[in-house]
Amino acid sequence: MGDAKKIYIADDEANIRLAIRAFLENSGYAAEDFENGDLLLGAFSESPADLVILDVMMPGSNGFVVCKELRKISRVPIIMLTARDSDLDYATGLDLGSDDYLVKPFSPMALVMRVKAIFRRMEFDRQTFAERSLAAAGSAGPSPSAGTAGSAGAVFDAGLVAGEKLSASEEG
């Protein structure tokens, strides 16, 4: 699973933790599970995950505390899982920086679909940012000192960073 997205799961209920892990692994993700939030925070500081799933009510640091601590060091997507279904708990989870909030009991397939949706949105945002960056760079137009004239009147950008592709823009 070299390219698989890494997902950390913290839940004190082993059966829930292992079921989530199995569903995620069957969907192609690399999942690690922790019986409490403190263990997850320790692992995250050593090797950050691509997404975190947190139970709210756990011994030690609860999911709200872990979410708040993660937000101090990372923008990793966080999904909260909890038996607490009050509007206040929902608002607290989102206000602390979680990206989604699922109430137990929940469908493991619904959780996997939400994970996929978050990763899909992240990829879309990356692509959109890259396209906007390219468009902004292209709208400045070639400057006489930045380019070298090529054949057939094309101008090539001589100030490329290693790994970038060459592009030609036709003049007039």
Per the structure, the count of domains in the chain is 1
Structure-block tokens of residue 144: 């006489």
Please give the share of the chain, as a percent, with pLDDT higher than 90.
64
Query: Is residue 43 included in any domain, yes or no?
Result: yes
Q: Which residue has the higher pLDDT, 171 or 30?
A: 30
Query: Is residue 139 included in any domain, yes or no?
Result: no
Query: Is residue 32 included in any domain, yes or no?
Result: yes
Query: Is residue 168 included in any domain, yes or no?
Result: no
Q: Provide the pLDDT for residue 132.
A: 72
Is the pLDDT at 11 greater than 80, yes or no? yes
Is the pLDDT at 160 greater than 70, yes or no? no
Query: Is residue 160 included in any domain, yes or no?
Result: no
Query: Is residue 154 included in any domain, yes or no?
Result: no
Which residue segment(s) compose the domain that 82 sits in?
A: 6-128
Question: DSSP class of residue 18?
Answer: H
Rounded to whole angstroms, the Cα distance separating 108 from 120 reads 18
Query: Is residue 107 included in any domain, yes or no?
Result: yes
Rounded to whole angstroms, the Cα distance separating 72 from 88 reads 22
Rounded to whole angstroms, the Cα distance separating 147 from 124 reads 31
Q: What pLDDT band is residue 149 in, cutting at 50, 70 and 90?
A: very low
Rounded to whole angstroms, the Cα distance separating 50 from 155 reads 40
pLDDT digits (tens, 9 = 90+) for 84-122: 888 998 899 999 999 999 999 999 999 999 999 999 999
Question: DSSP class of residue 76?
Answer: -
CATH number of the domain residue 106 falls in:
3.40.50.2300
Q: What pLDDT band is residue 145 in, cutting at 50, 70 and 90?
A: very low
Q: Work out the number of other CB atoms within 10 angstroms of the CB of residue 17.
A: 20
Please give the share of the chain, as a percent, with pLDDT higher than 70.
77
Measured CA distances, 3 to 30, 45, 50, 120 (Å): 9, 20, 11, 15
Decide: helix, strand or coil at residue 42. helix
Give the range among 1-15, 41-55, 158-172 with minimum mean pLDDT.
Answer: 158-172
Structure-block tokens of residue 59: 């011994």
pLDDT digits (tens, 9 = 90+) for 70-84: 999 999 999 999 888
